[in-house]
Structure formats: C-alpha cells, structure tokens
Structure 1
Amino acid sequence: MKQDRIKLLSEESVPKAILVMSLPVVTGMMVQVLYNLADTFFIGKLNDANQLAAANIALPVFILSMALAGVIGTGAASYISRALGEKKAVEADKTLTIGMVYLLIIGFIVTVFTLIFLKNLVAVLGASAETFPYTFSYVSVLVWGMIPVMCNFALGQLLRAEGDAMGSMFGMLIGTVTNIILDPLLIFTFSLGVSGAAIATVVANSISLLFYLVRYKKGKTLIHFRLSLFSFDKKISKEIFTIGLPSSISQGLMSVALIIMNNIAASYGDTVIAGLGVASRIVTIGTFIFMGIAAGCQPLVGYSYGARNIKRVDSIILHGISITSIIGLLLGIVMWVFARSFIGAFTNVVEVIDAGTIVLRALVFSLPIVGGQMLCTTSVQAMGKALPSLILSISRQGLLFIPLLLGLNRLFGFNGFIYAQPLTDAIMLIIAFAILKGILKKDTNRL
C-alpha cells in the first residue's frame, strides 16, 4: 500500500493522480460543508435572526483557530511532501513530531490569551446589544475547545501530505456525522440554542482528532510520530514557519476581513448579518470543492517539485485550474438561479431571505475564478517558496479585499460592499498565476 502511494505521487497519469488524490479530499470537504450547513440549518430553525447572526459574527474566531493550525499544518505538510520526494523518510518523521509539539504549544498560549480578553474580543467582532449574549456564549465554547479544533485541522493536512487522502476524509466524515447528531440534540432537546451548536462543533472535532491519532498510533501511515525525534531543529523549524506563517497570515487576514464585513453589515441591520452568514456558507459548497482539489494537488506538486520533475508540476497545475474553472461556472449558474430557494431552506425570516438572496447572487461571481487562484497559491506553498507565498497570502485579504471592501462600500453603499469579494478574486487570479509561472520558468531554466 505504501509503495502504491509513492507510485501515485510520482508516476501515475496526471488526470488520474488528481482524481485519486482530490476525490477523497473533495468528499471530505463536502462533508465539512455539510458540517457548516448543519449548524446554520439548525440554528436557523430557531427562527431567531439574532442567534443566526451570532453564529456568523463568531465565525472569525473559528477561522483564526484554523489560521493558527495552518502554520503547522501547511508548513509541515509542504516539507513532508518534499522530504518524501527526496526519499528522506526520517526527516519526514521528525517534521511530523516537531510540528505536533509546536501545535500544542501554540494552542495552549492562544487559548489562555483569548480567555483573558474574551469580552473585548466579542465586542470587536461586531456584536450588537441584541446579538452580544448569543455571540459571547458561542465564542466561549469555541475558545475552550480551541486546542482539539486546531489539532484536528492540522493533522488532516499532514495526512494528505503523505498521500493518505482517504484517512483524512474518514476523519472529517466521522466529525460531521457526530456534529449532525449532536446539533438538534443540544440546540433543541437540551434548549442550549446557539451555544449548543458550538458544543457540538468542539465535540465533533475532538472525535475526528482521536481518529487521526489512532491512525498514526496503529502505523497506517507512511510517517510516524516519535517523541524521541523531537528537538528545536533550526532547519525543520525554518521550513515549517517560512511556509506556514504566510498561509496563517492569509487566514488571519480573512478573519480580520470578516470582522470588518460584519461591522459594515451591522450598519445595514442584524438581518443583513444573518443573511450574509447563510449566503457565505452556501458559497462554501464551491470554495470547499476548490480547496479539496487544491489540497489534493498540493502533495502531487510538492513531490514532483522535490523530484525536480517540473514538466509534471506544470501539467498538474494546468489540469487543476481547468477542472476548478468548469466546476465553478456550473455551480455559479445554479446558485444564482435558485438563490432565494437556497436561502429559504435555512430560515423562515423574510428579511433574512431577502438580504441573503442579494448577497448570494453577488458572491457566486467568485466561483469560476477562485479555484484557480487557490490552486496557484497552494502550489507555491508546496514548492517551499516562502517569499512568493507571503506575497500571495497578504495580497488577497490584506492588500486587496479589505481596502476594496472599505472603498467600494463608501462609494457605492451596499452594492459595493457585496461585490468587493468577486472583484478581489478576479485580480488575485491574475497575480497568483503570474507569480507561479515566473517561478516555474526560472526553475526550468536552471535545470
């Protein structure tokens, strides 16, 4: 089985390799979408716009925990793939071990720090007087469960780095099924409302994490956690953080952007925040498919780049961009046509449906282009290019989206606010593709 994984990474035809690597991840991502939509669906059935808005207001905290986990998940995964491509199995084992220890340290520090400033954090998130108590209860649970949430996210990435896409998918599936079972039980049966959804999220992530740990413990992986290998290795630490930090900055800026979006949306009313939350989660059907394809391509790119097979790297990227663009176009058309029905499936509040429909029809313009952008960015990360990765990471949310969001909202009001994201993604696709092609051309000339 282990030799089959190596053959898949190095020799299999590119379309088949992308399919085999991406399909389990996409399936897992769809499970993750179901996970997110389940929360929104059950909270929506409370027919309380304030609790539905609170779940969206709290989302930046969840994304921030993913950003911090991504420092280790993305950075270590990139180096593990390249180490395997260079036949350095012990180096890969050591990277896994060091990454897991760093993850626990980061998780503990952030949890303590966040708990100290919890009330101030909720106020900054954009909660109004009506949504504050619901947002506070939701965020409190997420913060207490931040360590298992972070570890679960990172270990899923590390399994994919060695080609174990199926293991990663099953872990996500187990967590999602757990969440779907617990959501109605905690929200309605135990009358916990929105905080019940947060508890379900933390418990589900903990169970997924347990599955991953058992998988490593039973030796069903190419690489292994061995505490005896842990040290503050300068080379490995540099590899992890030079690639992981740019990815984390990107996710962190996404969290900041969401906070700004929620504060702007609050000026239009809590029903707009609620509608924005529902629409954003529906669009994740597309973005998570693209994330899955990009994640499936990442170890293929990393392995081939480590083996100096630039021609194969080129082929993987071009096939991946073509696939995501076609899927995005089809999904965008469907979501635009049936926007009101999609929003109405999650809430009966007419004002929320009206706002959500308008927002969804704006956001779907990102779908045909955002997949290619994601694939270019993850390819740069997989190749271990720290500076270009940093440029791409800060550009989308920091240099482009946040200024466009503020500027377009000021100039064009609500329409400027909702179309800032599609415009950002169109510009970013051009930038990301140009940077990636420049890297590949330079490396080709060296060989």
Structure 2
Amino acid sequence: MPKQAKLTQGSTLKHVSIMSFTGALGLMAMFLVDLVDMLFLSMLDEREAVAAVGFASTIMFFTVSISIAVSIAATALVARAIGEGDYELAKRRATNVLGIGVIFSSMVVWFLWPKIPDLLMFLGANLRTLDLATSYLQILLLGMPAVMVGMIASGIMRALGDARRAMYATLVCSVINAVLDPILIFVFGLGVDGAAIASLLARFSMVAVSYYGVVTVHRMLGQFDLVESVKDLKPIAKIAVPAMLTNMSSPLANAIVMGYAAQFGDHAVAGIAIVGRIIPVVFGGLFALSGAVGPILAQNYGAGHFQRMHNAMTSAVVYALGYCILLCSTLYMSQHFLITIFNATDDTAHLIRFFATYGSFSFFFQSLLFIAIAVFNNLGRPLSSTLLNFGRATIGTWPLIVFFGWIMGAEGIILGQAIGSVIFGCVGFVMARRYLNKLEQKDALRKPEVTSTPLYSSTP
C-alpha cells in the first residue's frame, strides 16, 4: 500500500482533530477576510459599494458551490483509491477531476459572463449599485477556474491526509487578499474594482500553493486525456451534483429565516444577521468536520477497515462534543462583549443573549448531520446528503420557526432552528450508522473466508 494511505493507521481521534482544526483555520481565515473586505468598502462612504458586493456575492456563492462540490468528489474518489492501494487509479482520478473541473468552470464563466447585468437586475440591483456590482462580478468571475483548481487540489491533498498543505493554500489566499485590499481600494483609488482585483489575484495564489503540493510534493498529476477522462465523468458527477445541491440548502434556509424575521421588525433582522456572522467564526471547527471525516472514511473504506470507519464516526462525535462544550461556554460568557461590540440594543440584544445561552448548543447536533453527510458523500450515497440538508432547510426550519415564533416572538426563530438541527442531526446520524453497517455486511458476504464466520460473533 502506498505511503499516502496514512489515514488507515494511527488514532482516528487524532486524524479527525488535526483535519478539522486545519480545515477550520482556513475557513475562519476566509470568513475574516470577507468581513475585512466589507469593512474597507464601507469606509468609502458609498452605500452602493457595499450593496454591490452583497448582490455579487449571491451569484458568486453559486459558482463557489460548484467548485466545492467537485472538490468533494475529488476527495472521495482519490481517498478511496489510495485506501485500496491503487496509486495509479488515484493519480488518474486526480488528473481527470482537475481537467474536467477546469473545462466545466470555464464553460460556466463563458455562459454567465455576458448575462451578469441581467442576473443582477433580477436580484434587484439598479442604477449605481448595478454598475458597481456588474464591474465587480465581471472581474471576479474570471477567477472561477482558479478557484476550481485550488479547491480540487486542496481536496486531493486532504484525500492523501495532507491537511496542513491544504490549509496553507487557503491561508495564503486570505493573507494576500487582506494585504492587497487596502492597497488597491485606497492607494490606487480603484474602489470596488480594487476589491475584485485583490480577490482575483489571491485566488491565483491559492492555485500556486495547492498545485505545488499536488504536483511537486505528492506527484499526483499525470497527463490529461479528454477521451480517457470520460471513464471518470460518471463517478465524479454522481458525487458532485448532489453535493452542489446540498450546498444550496444553506442559503435557502437563511432566506426562509430572514424572510420570517422581517415580520418582527428591523431589530429582529439585525439580531438574526449578527448571529449569522457569529456562527461561522465560532463554529468553523464544526463546519470543517465533514471535510475532515470524509477522507478518513474513504481511505479506510477502500482498505476494507470497517472498524476504523466506526471508530472515525465515534471520534468525530467526541471531537464535536468537546468543541461545543468549550466554544458554547465561551460564547455564553462573552455575550455581553458581543452585545457591546455590535452596539446591539433592545430586541437585538435579547436575540444575541438567547442564542449564546440556548441556541448555540444545538450545533452539537448539527455536527452529527455534518458527520452523516461525510458518510453518504464518501461512501456512495450522496443523494441522502442532499435530502437531509434540504429537509433541514425546509421542513426542519419553516414550520418550526413559525410555530415557536408565534409562541415566543423573535426568539422562537432561533429555538425553531435549534430544534430542527436536533431532529435532523439525530436522524441523519442514525441513518449514517445503519448505512455503514449495511456496507459492512455486504463486504462480509463478498469474502468467502468471512462468510463461514458469524457476522455478529463479537456481539454479546
């Protein structure tokens, strides 16, 4: 077995912790840069500039979701081949996913670029805001192939267990973006265009770092053959398409929540918006959990180490519980500081207190859903991830926030979301456990030497 199959050995808790922590650092760096980006643009004293980026971000979220989905497919397919000990298959899949990703992302750019003004007008942008948003998006969209390459390359490195270099790619991108932002926005006086150019250059830097890791360090890139790549198109699409739909469920849930919060007035909307900015910073370590557990499961599935796969799920739960106890307790003790720094008053402050005191603890159960998503995405049933996430975003959100909002007011929105996370987290985790047991039974039946031994011989 090639040396890259490092996730099939050693402590699963250690692997989960390292993979999650490095992934979380990268995610939180990106979230932080986004906040700094908006802060710099707000200093221009031009309200339309901030609004323009807001409109453009809606479309960019769609393009980034495509890149994330393809990178999930890359991680699952490469990690499984590495676990099987088939290094050449892993290399072929890495090459083909990168090649197909570049072709597909270039086609998306070609299709969307001339339609940018129409899309922005459909979202509600007009006049000066429309002009700024169009210019910003036209620059940034050109970097979509770079984002695709960077994310796929990072996914390949995670599949190999090299979470450190995958993190470096995201950190370098974030640092360069943060450094170039004030220079291009203020020193060169480019305003919104400067912010777009800074982000574009930063994305190319991510390509350089991640490409170096894949090609030079791990030697995982062969010669791309378009005809040969068709062999891997079906398995790539089988994972990537449901993963992309899964990513779309989060903005759907946010839209439902914000739309209902508006009925309680501006204070409720502000409170929900502030909570929405707190969540990715505080719980980044949980958002990275799915991407951390996935390669561990895939490598061990390829190697046929089912007990390690069960251990990996248990280790992920232990990690999530410890993380939530620590961060939720810190959040509870920091609620007065948060209210002060956001200048929150009245109902806005009450919502922040309610989330910090009660709602935040539901993220442990949401982490169970993240673990289930990793199981389904990496072990051949990605559609289940899509159904679970859309279920949480719809029937796990709207009826509950309406019911508890009717009883409790704006605080009921947070409670409804929390209860939805508890329900779908538990359901998803149980489904994932059963699916893993089913795969283990099928694997045992395929092995003649195992069929002669009772499958549950170790059970009391």
**Counterpart for residue 289 of structure 1:** 285
The residue aligned with 1:226 is: 223
3-state SS of paired residue (1:231): helix
- The 1-side partners of 2:69 and 2:401 are apart by 26
Q: CA deviation at 1:249?
A: 0.4
The match for 2:160 is 162
Q: 1:117 to 1:267 in 2, by over 3 A?
A: farther
1:226 aligned counterpart, secondary structure: coil
Cα 1:92–1:293 change in 2 (3 A) is: same
Worse-matched range after superposition: 168-177 or 100-109: 100-109
| 99-108 or 259-268, larger mean C-alpha shift | 259-268
The match for 1:358 among 351, 354, 379 is 351
Contact in 1 for aligned 2:16/2:319 (Cα 8 Å): no
Q: Deviations over 1:124-169 (max 9, x none)?
A: 4465889656555544443333222233223222221121212111
Q: Distance in 1 between matches of 2:41 and 2:346?
A: 15
1:419 shift after superposition: 4.9
CA deviation after TM superposition for structure 1 residue 194, in Å? 4.6
Contact conserved, 2:91 with 2:221, CA < 8 A, in 1? yes
Residue in 1 that maps onto 2:248: 252
Range moving further from structure 2, 434-443 or 398-407 = 398-407
> Relative to structure 1, is the Cα distance of residues 104 and 27 closer, same or farther in structure 2, using a 3 angstrom cutoff?
same
Question: Alpha carbons of 1:53 and 1:427: their partners in 2 closer, same or farther (altered >3 Å)?
Answer: farther
Give yes or no for contact 1:118–1:140 (8 Å, CA) kept in 2.
yes
Give CA deviations for 1:285-324 in whole Å, capped at 9, x if unaligned. 2342113333222111111122222111111111112211
How far apart are the structure 2 equivalents of 1:125 and 1:424? 29
Q: Which amino acid aligns with 2:210?
A: Y
CA distance 1:138–1:370, shift in 2 (3 Å): farther
Contact 2:351 2:410 in 1 (8 A): no
Moved more, 11-20 or 39-48: 39-48
Which range moves more in the overlay, 34-43 or 423-432?
Answer: 34-43
Task: Check the 8 A contact 1:57/1:135 in 2, yes or no.
Answer: yes
2:176 is aligned with 1:178: yes
User: Which one has the largest radius of gyration?
Assistant: 2
Counterpart AA for 1:427: I
Q: Is the alpha carbon distance of 1:86 and 1:31 closer, same or farther for their aligned partners in structure 2, counting shifts above 3 Å?
A: same
Residue in 2 aligned with 1:423? 419
Shifted more, 412-421 versus 98-107: the winner is: 412-421
The answer (yes or no) to whether the contact 2:369–2:424 under 8 Å persists in 1 is yes
CA distance in 1, matches of 2:182, 2:417: 33
Could you tell which deviates more after superposition, 266-275 or 164-173? 266-275
Q: CA deviation at 1:232?
A: 3.9
Q: Which stretch shows the higher mean deviation, 19-28 or 376-385? A: 19-28
Aligned: 1:216 with 2:197: no
Q: After superposition, where does 1:308-387 map in structure 2 within 5 Å?
A: 308-339=304-335, 341-342=337-338, 345=341, 355=348, 358=351, 362=355, 364-387=360-383
Determine helix, strand or coil for the equivalent of 1:400. Answer: coil
Aligned partners of 2:291 and 2:63: how far apart in 1? 19
Question: What pairs with 1:293-312 in structure 2 (closer than 5 Å)?
Answer: 293-312=289-308
Q: 1:82·1:303 contact (CA, 8 Å) conserved in 2?
A: yes
Counterpart of 1:432 in structure 2 is 428
Match of residue 85 from structure 1: 83
Distance 2:46 2:82 in 1: 51
For residues 397 and 58 of structure 1, what CA distance do their matches in structure 2 show?
23
What TM-score, normalized by structure 1, do the two folds share?
0.83
Contact 1:272–1:352 (Cα < 8 Å) also in 2: no
What is the root-mean-square deviation in Å for CA atoms of aligned residues? Answer: 3.6
Name whichever of 182-191 and 136-145 sits farther off.
136-145
1:17-166 map, 5 Å? 17-45=15-43, 51-52=49-50, 54-125=52-123, 135-166=133-164
Q: Which has the higher contact order (CA 8 A, sep 6+)?
A: 1
Cα distance in 1 for partners of 2:277, 2:35 equals 6
- Helix, strand or coil for the counterpart of 2:380? coil
Change (3 A) 1:365 1:199: farther
Query: Residue 15 of structure 1 corresponds to which residue in structure 2?
Result: 13
- Where 1:117 maps in the other structure, the secondary structure is helix
Number of matched residues? 439
Q: Is the 8 A contact 2:339 2:352 kept in 1?
A: no
Could you tell me which residue of structure 1 aligns to residue 453 of structure 2?
none
C-alpha distance 86-389 of structure 1, shift in aligned 2 (>3 A)? same
Do the aligned residues in 1 keep the contact of 2:365 with 2:425 (CA within 8 Å)?
Answer: yes
Which amino acid in the other structure matches residue 306 of structure 1?
A: G
User: Gaps spanning 5+ residues in structure 1: where?
Assistant: none
| Offset of residue 404 of structure 1 | 5.6
- 2:144 and 2:14 map into 1 onto residues whose CA distance is 37
Distance in 1 separating the partners of 2:396 and 2:30: 27
Q: Percent identity?
A: 24
Residue pair 2:396, 2:417 contacting (<8 A) in 1 also: no
Provide the residue aligned with 2:456 in structure 1: none
Deviation at 1:114, TM superposition (A): 2.4
Q: Which amino acid aligns with 1:164?
A: D
Q: CA deviation at 1:12?
A: 0.7
Q: Which residue of 1 aligns with 2:454?
A: none
Provide, for residues 225-251 of structure 1, a one-character-per-residue CA deviation record: whole Å limited to 9, x for no partner.
4214862434x2222111221111011
CA displacement, residues 254-296 of structure 1 (integer Å, 9 cap, x when unaligned): 3444455566667778897777555423311234211333322
- Cα deviations across residues 313-337 of structure 1 (Å, max 9, x unaligned)? 1111111122113312432343354
Q: Residue 239 of structure 1: which of 209, 220, 235 is its match?
A: 235
Deviations 1:359-383 (A, max 9, x none): 6854635433322221221122122
